[in-house]
Amino acid sequence: MWGEKPKKRETIFDEQHYTFLGKGVDFKGTAQFEGTVRIDGRFEGEMHTNDTIIIGEHAIIKGNISGNVVVSGGKVQGNITAHHRVQLFNPAVVIGDIRTPNFSMEEGVCFQGLCDMGLTNLEQLDLTRQETNTVSNGTESKKFEKHGKQTEGKNWEATHLAQR
């Protein structure tokens, strides 16, 4: 009791940067965050982070947002730029343009604007998919030539068996 040392409190986020603007908080201006940000209040201006922005169901954002990942269930009037992905969940409302390589939207979301996923032609789509497959497999794709036909990496056996 008297001689006991106070116990350290464990945090949920293990020393990661996490910012929370709760319900009832109004912010106007430009904000640059480090780490994950969750907004449940009102925000007007520009918001930037190098990590994830989570926009809660009760949040109202008027302004531009940029981050690595943007996940929203709230209301956004402005442009969203995400370097990795944007996910919109019901009852989200977005009035503005979205620029991201990966975009998903749940049924019931209201989206008014343009979505730019960075592609300018179909050849670029094929290259992007090949790069994604190479990264997801964790190995580089190597070309093999068997029986006068060229095939990619591990798929040679499946291609060879299908030709029989």
The angle formed by the CA atoms of residues 79, 98 and 70, to the nearest 5 degrees, is 85
Looking at the chain, the whole-number percentage of residues with pLDDT higher than 90 is 58
With H, G, I as helix, E, B as strand and everything else as coil, classify residue 132. Answer: helix
Tell me, what's the pLDDT at 57? 96
Q: Are 83 and 100 in contact (CB under 8 A)?
A: yes
Tell me whether strands 143-146 and 149-152 are parallel, antiparallel or unpaired: antiparallel
Tell me, what's the pLDDT at 5? 58
Q: Which two tokens stand for residue 2?
A: 């008297």
Q: What is the pTM of this model?
A: 0.67
Q: Which of 53-57, 61-65, 141-145 has the lowest mean pLDDT?
A: 141-145
**Rounded average pLDDT over 129-157:** 47
Which position has the token pair 């019931």? 108
For residue 138, how far is the Cα from the chain centroid? 21
Q: Are 63 and 95 in contact (CB under 8 A)?
A: no
pLDDT digits (tens, 9 = 90+) for 16-44: 678 888 999 999 999 999 999 999 999 99
